[in-house]
Amino acid sequence: MSTIIELLKEKKLLVIDGSFASELEKAGLNLCDSLWSAKALYENPELVTKVHESYFESGAGIAITGSYQAHVQGLLKKGFTHEKAIELIKLSVKLAKKARENCLKKHPERKLAIAAAVGPYGAYLADGSEYVGNYGLSVKELEEFHEEKIEALASENPDFFAFETIPSFDEVRAYVNILKRHENITGWFTFSCKDEKHISEGVEISEVAKFLDKENQVHAIGVNCTKPEYIEPLICEIKKATDKPVAVYPNTGEKYDPVTKTWSGEPVDFIKYAKRWYESGARLIGGCCRTSPDEIKAVCKFAKSI
């Protein structure tokens, strides 16, 4: 197992993979479902491995598991038994590891890491709440919601965790409390942001970064699932509050409608932006919604040049 800190000792820039869901949809999987991309874990696990492999082959060094929307409660609501729900969550790590194993057979010299994805409570609601964050739940209730899933993922020994698309400060507090009970878990915390300065619920990202700065199990802080034009100033805000590495993996710039679950608009020149993110201080870069192996390949090419 490798930590983010260990990997950054060897490389100036770590490349995270791109959109998991977009590649599933390209392959024909219908994700109009309350479980979204987690649906693939039971409907087409072979495709999950294939998508992870495609990103590794594009040069990504970190694969994020397909567990973002695989919450125990969501799987139970879908009709799975508790035992099966836990099994599917664990499977997300196993499938990513299988993809890594397949890639290392061809490229044994590479160092590849698995980040276990933990999506916010809003992802379970499946109504776009991860871009708002005002759930009306206490920190304790959020801990109870997340902890069993985190324990299931940890039991499969991913390299570290990706606590991602976090919209609220209370969810951060819940995760931190869980981490204190599980000292073997490390990872990054990345936020969905509403503008150049604030996370989705309206708190300044510098305030959250300052809170996380003292947490030794948090190895990187950053932004994901956010407009690319917001990223550069957000990096600057984070760096005001912490010296921890900054991780960014935004969307392509197209606009998402959570009601119709459709996208509109045109993507940005992703690599042009990515170079600026690195220059601003990001040390982990990848892609979120609508990105593909093509964008990741371009980021990898840039990473090799620095």
pLDDT digits (tens, 9 = 90+) for 47-102: 999 999 999 999 999 999 999 999 999 999 999 999 999 999 999 999 999 999 99
Cβ atoms of 21 and 31 within 8 Å: the answer is yes
Task: Kindly tell me if the per-residue pLDDT of 279 is higher than 80.
Answer: yes
In sequence order, which residues have a C-beta less than 8 Å from that of residue 151 and are 6 or more positions away? 182
- Calculate the average pLDDT of the chain: 96
pLDDT at site 263: 80
The tokens for 233 are 């100033």
Mean pLDDT computed over 263-291: 96
103 is in an annotated binding site: no
Task: Kindly tell me if the per-residue pLDDT of 258 is higher than 70.
Answer: no
DSSP symbols for 180-246: HH-TT--EEEEE-BSSSSBBTTS-BHHHHHHHHHT-TTEEEEEEESS-HHHHHHHHHHHHHH--S-E
pLDDT at site 18: 99
- Give the start-to-end residue ranges of the domains of the chain: 4-305
Q: What's at 246, amino acid-wise?
A: V
Q: Is 67 helix (H, G, I), strand (E, B) or coil?
A: coil
pLDDT at site 270: 97
Rounded to two decimals, the pTM is 0.96
Residue range 4-305, CATH number: 3.20.20.330
Q: Beta strands 113-118 and 62-64: pairing type?
A: parallel
Helix (H) or strand (E) holding 146: helix 139-154
Cα(231)–Cα(11) distance, integer angstroms: 22
pLDDT digits (tens, 9 = 90+) for 4-41: 999 999 999 999 999 999 999 999 988 888 888 999 99
